[in-house]
Structures are given as structure tokens and as C-alpha cells.
């Protein structure tokens, strides 16, 4: 399949490489061109512009930082939309707002193109190993055609609906749940520390029993060790995602009081200078509010 891959950040570079290694015909483009060079060594075509990358593509994949990046690289005159063939597929894998996803669906439809939303769960190591989880939504026949792509980058694909935005909602709901896990670990570790219990032992207990899940292991470990730097995912990015959840909830009329707590605490964390710490440092705020350290 002829694939264009736009966005070679921490995640995208690994995903593009896995596609090349799965024998797909891949053209890549990245705003900072130097990041594309390692892909050239893996036999990807390195394109000089978005239009060049997407012109002959059957599928274009975007993996970008936020709404603003997706909006400008897809919708503007020198972006994906005006240069993609009719009948081609855009797989949007970025974490974006439901509203933008809805807008992309409308615009691609007008151009005779197809939109699939397929955000992923997993950190860069999982991306490198092709072990991401892919959450995809869109027209069933189109999703079928994307299956080999999802197989190349992930360990499992979850099809969650026929409208692309549904995958974005699931991604946002998942990020909400992660943020709540962090905050709840922060509060409970503050509580148990106050009674003299070592965080490592508390986390070991949790993750050996009812909470034996990757998310508790990953964040429980970071919090127990107070290892908030370097940030795997910075607080300001976490807050950005919390806001996307809030926007989706607001549009749909869903009150989410736990989200409000996480939101307010993330804003406080930034107000207290934690911009560049990992978002698991919500737990540091909880500790400080309990008078610890």
C-alpha cells in the first residue's frame, strides 16, 4: 500500500519505521526535516512537502501534537486535504478534540475521501516494539482496508464504532481514567505515608492484588519514587488532554466531577511551578497539600 506518514515525533517515528519494516511503501514528512533522516535509512521516501508526500498515497496517516497542528497540516491550502486523491483514506492517530474530528469527517467527505480515527495507547517503548493498542472508528469497509496498517504498529486493534469521532472519545475517556488513577494514587499515598507506610510497599501491595494493571504499575512506581523528571508526559500536556475531555463532556451534557478535581489540581500544579514535571506529579501536589516534605 502507498502510505504517507505525517509527523515523526516520539511516537510517529517508531510507527512509521514499523510500517516500512512491514513492507509498506511509505513516504514520510516532518516539520523539522532532520527527524525524517533516520527513516530514510530504513528505506522510507522522505518528502519535501506535505503535498508531495500525500499526492499518490492510498492512505495518509497523521500523528501530530495537537488540534492546532492537525488543523493546519490537514485543512490549509498546502495541507493534506486539498492534495489527497478522492477515494484515499486519512487515518488520524493524534489525540485531538472530538470537535475537530467531526470537522475533518465533514471536510473529507466533501472531497470524496475517507476519514478513520485511530488514536493509540502506549508509550514510546510500546510504539517502538509495535505493541501499541489501536482504537479505531469509521466506516467498516474502510477500517477493513486499514487492518494491515494497524497490525504493523499495534498488538491489538479495537473497533469502537462507525463514526470516526467515537475513537477520539474512547481515547479521551481512557486518558481521563489514567489521570484519575494518578490523582487517586497521589491522595492514597499521601494518606498512607502520614501513617508511616512506605509508598513502595503500598504500591507493591496494590499492584499484586486488585490493582494489578499496567497503569497502576507505571504510575505507582513513578510516584513511589517521586521520579517526576524527565517528564514522560508533561503536566501541561496532561492538562491539555483534560481540557479535551472536558470539552467533549460539555458538548454531550455529561457532568464529570472527578475530571473537575483533576483539572483544578492540574491548573494548581502549573500555578505552583510544575510545568515541566511529569503529570504524575499531581501526586506531589497531593503530598504538599497534606503537609508532606
278: which DSSP letter? B
Whether the link from the prior residue into 261 is cis, omega within 30° of 0, is: no
From 10-18, 21-29, 55-63, 247-255, span contacting its own copies (CB under 8 A): 247-255
With binding defined as CB under 8 A, does residue 238 bind its own copies?
A: no
With binding defined as CB under 8 A, does residue 290 bind its own copies?
A: yes
For its own copies, the closer of residues 49 and 260 by Cβ is 260
With binding defined as CB under 8 A, does residue 180 bind its own copies?
A: yes
Q: How many CB atoms lie within 10 A of CB 5?
A: 34
For its own copies, the closer of residues 111 and 158 by Cβ is 158
Member of 208, 225, 229, 276 binding its own copies (CB under 8 A): 208
Distance CA 185, CA 161 (A): 32
Distance CA 139, CA 89 (A): 11
Contact predicate 221/200, CB 8 Å: no
Contact predicate 63/30, CB 8 Å: no
With binding defined as CB under 8 A, does residue 216 bind its own copies?
A: yes
End-to-end CA distance of the chain: 56
Instruction: Work out whether the CA dihedral 13, 18, 20, 24 comes out positive or negative.
Output: negative
- Residue 54-93 contact track with its own copies, rule CB under 8 A, x = bound: ----------------------------------------
In the complex, least distance from residue 275 CB atom to its own copies, rounded to whole angstroms: 10
From 41-49, 63-71, 103-111, 176-184, span contacting its own copies (CB under 8 A): 176-184
With binding defined as CB under 8 A, does residue 270 bind its own copies?
A: yes
Member of 166, 231, 234, 277 binding its own copies (CB under 8 A): 166
Number of helices and strands in the chain (H, E): 14, 9
Member of 38, 51, 82, 161 binding its own copies (CB under 8 A): 161
Q: How many CB atoms lie within 10 A of CB 251?
A: 12
Please give the positions annotated as active site: 171
The residue count for the chain: 293
Residues between 108 and 137 that touch its own copies (CB under 8 A): 121, 133, 135
For its own copies, the closer of residues 19 and 170 by Cβ is 170
281: which DSSP letter? G
Amino acid at each position: 500500500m502507498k502510505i504517507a506518514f505525517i509527523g515523526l515525533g516520539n511516537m510517529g517515528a517508531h510507527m512509521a519505521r514499523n510500517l516500512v519494516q512491514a513492507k509498506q511503501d511509505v513516504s514520510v514528512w516532518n516539520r523539522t526535516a532532520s527527524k525524517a533522516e533516520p527513516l530514510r535509512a530504513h528505506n522510507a521516501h522522505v518528502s519535501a512537502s506535505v503535498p508531495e508526500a500525500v499526492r499518490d498515497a492510498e492512505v495518509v496517516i497523521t500523528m501530530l501534537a495537537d488540534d492546532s497542528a492537525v488543523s493546519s497540516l490537514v485543512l490549509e491550502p498546502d495541507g493534506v486535504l486539498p492534495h489527497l486523491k478522492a477515494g484515499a483514506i486519512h487515518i488520524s492517530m493524534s489525540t485531538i478534540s472530538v470537535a475537530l474530528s467531526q470537522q475533518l469527517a465533514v471536510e473529507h467527505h466533501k472531497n470524496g475521501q475517507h476519514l478513520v480515527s485511530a488514536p493509540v495507547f502506549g508509550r514510546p517503548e510500546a510504539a517502538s516494539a509495535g505493541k501499541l493498542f489501536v482504537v479505531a472508528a469509521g466506516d467498516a469497509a474502510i477500517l477493513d482496508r486499514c487492518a494491515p496498517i494497524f497490525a504493523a504498529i499495534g498488538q491489538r486493534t479495537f473497533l469502537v464504532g462507525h463514526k470516526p469521532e467515537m475513537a477520539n472519545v474512547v481515547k479521551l475517556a481512557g486518558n481521563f481514567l489514567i489521570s484519575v488513577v494518578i490523582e487517586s494514587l497521589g491522595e492514597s499515598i499521601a494518606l498512607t505515608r502520614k501513617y508511616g507506610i512506605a509508598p513502595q510497599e503500598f504500591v507493591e501491595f496494590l499492584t499484586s492484588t486488585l490493582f494489578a494493571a499496567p497503569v497502576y504499575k507505571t504510575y505507582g512506581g513513578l510516584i513511589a519514587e517521586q521520579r517526576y523528571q524527565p517528564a514522560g508526559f508533561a503536566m501541561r500536556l496532561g492538562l491539555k488532554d483534560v481540557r479535551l475531555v472536558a470539552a467533549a463532556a460539555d458538548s454531550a451534557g455529561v457532568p464529570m466531577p472527578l475530571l473537575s478535581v483533576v483539572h483544578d489540581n492540574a491548573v494548581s500544579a502549573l500555578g505552583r511551578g510544575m510545568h515541566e514535571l511529569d503529570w504524575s506529579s499531581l501526586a506531589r501536589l497531593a503530598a504538599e497539600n497534606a503537609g508532606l516534605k
